[in-house]
Structure 1
Amino acid sequence: MGKWTALVLASWAMVAGAAHADSGRYLIGEINSYKAQPAFLEPYRKGMELAVEQVNAAGGIDGKKLVLITRDDNANPGDTVRAAEELITREKVDVLTGGFLSHLGLALTDFALQKKRFYLASEPLTDKIVWEQGNRYTFRLRPSTWMQVAMLVPEAAKLNKKRWALVYPNYEYGQSAVATFKQLLKAAQPDVEFVAEQATPLGKVDAGSVVQALADAKPDAIFNVLFATDLAKFVREGETRGLFEGRKVVGLLSGEPDYLDPLKAEAPVGWIVTGYPWYSITTPEHQAFLDAYRKRFNDYPRNGSVVGYNAILSIAAGLKKAGSSDTEKLIAAFTGLQVNTPFGQITYRAQDHQSTMGAYVGTTAVQDGKGVMVDFRYEDGAKFQPSDEEVKKLRPAAQ
């Protein structure tokens, strides 16, 4: 028995990346910053678990069950790569997914290229994942920084405010979001001026000094990219010091319940945001997801829940189409893959491996002592992409 087990393990090592034909299951290796970003990632984990359960209850993928194996990356690039290596070599996973913080998503993107393994970047938003540092092994689910900023810029331009201040976390996601906002708003409103920037350490915002610096610049409007605890501190300090009085704020991710709910009645009012108004979406596909999520967890979903759910649905659809977890077959299957999700059908674009998953754009309000989104609409991600010619310039020729 010991010799037979050794032979089996050796054969698995030789065919890393191929389907586990004799195991009757597909192993999904997922890596994320669970300890560092629990507000988003605990609901995200639940969303993944619900999707796995639903796929398996429906018979799995041609009879094979999905098994989810997660690892925490400690919000550190080195630990991220070590976790990915361990999942492949020790756990023998068929597929890699995950990533929350953009610089960690880029680490996994490079790992996928070096190891020639399929990777679905579920959450990291940086455009580099599918453009400058994109590769043939990496696909991305969530609407990118470019896409979500492009959804907000028309609303920002309608405000017709000349002097803008910018506040963002000082790492890849924040830097990319601000660069895109400047580029797109300048194109829409050539006379715009950017009069102040506050780049804050991730998770360590000094809200008092940031708010004071922004107020001193006397902007007409503010573009906010902070999230999680940084957002909460910024909102509270800004309200206390009157930063938002008479000023419009446009906030990337600021309408997501993952970050809005902790503020309760202190939630900002009148901000133009991207988010997830789960309580008011009435489409049949979302209602089915909402009912199942509530029944399973006795809780309501957050945006992370939908991302986690859609990631597993995407992997399941890709495995079904490929008929295997072989890397090359998965790449072919994901190219143009269509997936039915709570937000409607999405497609993984052949041009850059970016999905067309969209986001909701609306305005923040406080109702019954809780922050909500009102006057919202769903923006289809397919409408907020650069042209194919621009993508060719942005994405490396050698894939």
Structure 2
Amino acid sequence: MKRRVSLLAGFILLLCSFSLLADTIKLGFNYPQSGRYKDLGLQQRLAAFLAVEEINQAGGILGKDVELLIRNTAGSPERGAANTDELIRKEKVDMLFGGASSAVAIASGKVAKDLDRLYFGTTTSANATTGSEGHDHMFREYPNAWMTAKALGSYLTKTFDDSKYFYVTADYTWGLSSEASIRNFTNTTDKQVHPHALTPFPRAFIKDFKKALEAAEASDAEILVLVLYGDDLVRALKVAHDMGLKDKLKIVIPNISLGIALNVGASIMEGVISTTPWEWMIPYQLDFERGQQFVEAFTKKYEVRPTSTAATAYGIVYQYKDAVERAGTTNTQDLIKALEGHEYSLLKDTQQWRALDHQNLQTIYVVRSKSREQVVKDSLRSDFFEVVGSLDGGQAVQTPTEWRAERAAAGKPPSL
């Protein structure tokens, strides 16, 4: 009898072991498969799958395979929030990430907090994501508008001092906060001297961009700042080129990615100034070996170069893996503690998850688009940018006092 009990206990233990071995860690990926930011979403998806594939080939996370469950936000905050709810309640994901617009990331992150899951914002730049709307379950890898504006403003004030600016801005959270931040760091807060035109979001048409750009042309501005992104930026740059504005104004954009540059074209992009936290050529220009390895793996697998949005998604998956392995668990509260203040280096120089607001601190690069002749020398005709300036993440980010002031203005507590 005892032998039978022992055998039965052993059999149950064996079954439990198989259950544990078969268990997976599930990541929920919320991205725009359609809509204005679909190109950004595709790069995020490709990079996320590459990271998961590499991690599983290397033994998974804590010995468990990683499974990526994807949902299309279509650029809609409501849909992003609904996806997040479903991924947590129905699919039982351990963590979520994604968002190519700040409104989507913010809405999705709030649902994740309510259901006690981490949410990593990918391409979300509005200050609010880790500022006035920030909370303890939201971590943002991508630089916020304040950081990019400070890096950009530092370069512009040195290079184009006392110039007159005209802003064309998308009328939503990211656009408005980006314009305000750039104005702050370029001493162009006087809207009478440095006027702007707002374009609708998310339903702007060519006529809207043309009207705004005609106002810019009629002004005596020397710097044209296009506070637009995704398909809106692509169309506005093409309209500006067709109007001959590149011969009259220096064009500046807050954020650029390779995908946008490819859609616009090398001739139109030439000379445009912007910022980025990462693009595929930067690891070669600045000798970041792990970044080069990512570029080569991504390019070999997909036959296209990775963009900054791809690097962000790839880095988030690896940072989640690192946090789980350091904490020894997927428990959300333990992972928050493991991430806060953590420093690491992956695809570039040192980065840190700031404990105060969960904003990732990293170097911001100011880049200028190369000539067409230089761009097409690359085998994939994708060598668009050269680094002309940079600002350390610790210098670029809001100080704790500035961050708390933003929170106070929104009626939020002085801590997450």
Normalising by the smaller structure, the TM-score range is 0.7 to 0.9
Partner of 1:376: 388
Give yes or no for contact 2:169–2:196 (8 Å, CA) kept in 1.
no
Partner of 2:84: 84
**How much does 1:375 deviate?**
4.3
Counterpart AA for 2:46: K
* Cα distance in 2, alignment partners of residues 168 and 311 from structure 1: 29
Q: Which structure has the higher relative contact order (CA within 8 Å, separation 6+)?
A: 1
Does residue 288 of the first structure (1) align with residue 293 of the second (2)?
A: yes
SS at match of 1:267: helix
SS at match of 1:290: helix
* Cα distance in 2, alignment partners of residues 279 and 245 from structure 1: 27
2:343 aligns with one of 320, 331, 338: 338
**How much does 1:348 deviate?**
0.4
In structure 1, runs of 5+ residues without a counterpart are 1-19
1:221 aligns with one of 208, 220, 223: 223
* Cα distance in 1, alignment partners of residues 191 and 79 from structure 2: 45
Counterpart AA for 2:57: A
* Cα distance in 1, alignment partners of residues 127 and 194 from structure 2: 22
* Cα distance in 2, alignment partners of residues 129 and 108 from structure 1: 11
* Cα distance in 2, alignment partners of residues 219 and 98 from structure 1: 37
Q: 1:170 to 1:68 in 2, by over 3 A?
A: same
Give yes or no for contact 1:155–1:272 (8 Å, CA) kept in 2.
no
* Cα distance in 1, alignment partners of residues 150 and 68 from structure 2: 34
Does residue 367 of the first structure (1) align with residue 372 of the second (2)?
A: yes
1:1-399 matches, cutoff 5 A: 23-36=22-35, 37-158=37-158, 159-186=160-187, 193-202=193-202, 204-205=204-205, 206-254=208-256, 256-275=257-276, 276-279=278-281, 281-282=283-284, 283=287, 284-368=289-373, 372-395=384-407, 396-397=413-414, 399=416
**How much does 1:339 deviate?**
3.4
Give yes or no for contact 1:24–1:63 (8 Å, CA) kept in 2.
no
SS at match of 2:388: strand
**How much does 1:192 deviate?**
9.5
**How much does 1:116 deviate?**
3.0
**How much does 1:21 deviate?**
5.8
Counterpart AA for 1:318: A
How many residue pairs get matched? 378
**How much does 1:308 deviate?**
1.3
**How much does 1:392 deviate?**
3.1
**How much does 1:152 deviate?**
0.2
SS at match of 1:165: strand
Partner of 1:16: none
Once the two structures are superposed, residues 44-95 of structure 1 have per-residue CA deviations (whole angstroms, 9 ceiling, x without a partner) of: 1111111111112221122112111111112222211111111011101111
In structure 2, runs of 5+ residues without a counterpart are 1-18, 408-412
* Cα distance in 2, alignment partners of residues 136 and 66 from structure 1: 24
Runs of 4 or more consecutive aligned structure 1 residues displaced over 4 Å after TM superposition: 20-23, 189-192
Q: 1:353 to 1:272 in 2, by over 3 A?
A: same
Q: 1:321 to 1:375 in 2, by over 3 A?
A: closer
Q: 1:143 to 1:290 in 2, by over 3 A?
A: same
SS at match of 2:166: strand
* Cα distance in 2, alignment partners of residues 314 and 377 from structure 1: 27
TM-score (norm 2): 0.84
Give yes or no for contact 2:81–2:111 (8 Å, CA) kept in 1.
yes
* Cα distance in 2, alignment partners of residues 204 and 392 from structure 1: 34
**How much does 1:378 deviate?**
4.9
SS at match of 1:194: coil
Counterpart AA for 1:308: A
SS at match of 2:247: coil
SS at match of 1:351: coil
Give yes or no for contact 1:151–1:361 (8 Å, CA) kept in 2.
yes
Root mean square deviation of aligned Cα: 2.3
Q: 1:323 to 1:50 in 2, by over 3 A?
A: same
> Identity rate of aligned residues, in percent?
22
**How much does 1:281 deviate?**
3.2
SS at match of 1:238: helix
**How much does 1:22 deviate?**
6.6
Give yes or no for contact 2:84–2:112 (8 Å, CA) kept in 1.
no
**How much does 1:196 deviate?**
2.9
Once the two structures are superposed, residues 239-289 of structure 1 have per-residue CA deviations (whole angstroms, 9 ceiling, x without a partner) of: 2222232322221123x2110012224323222211454235322122111
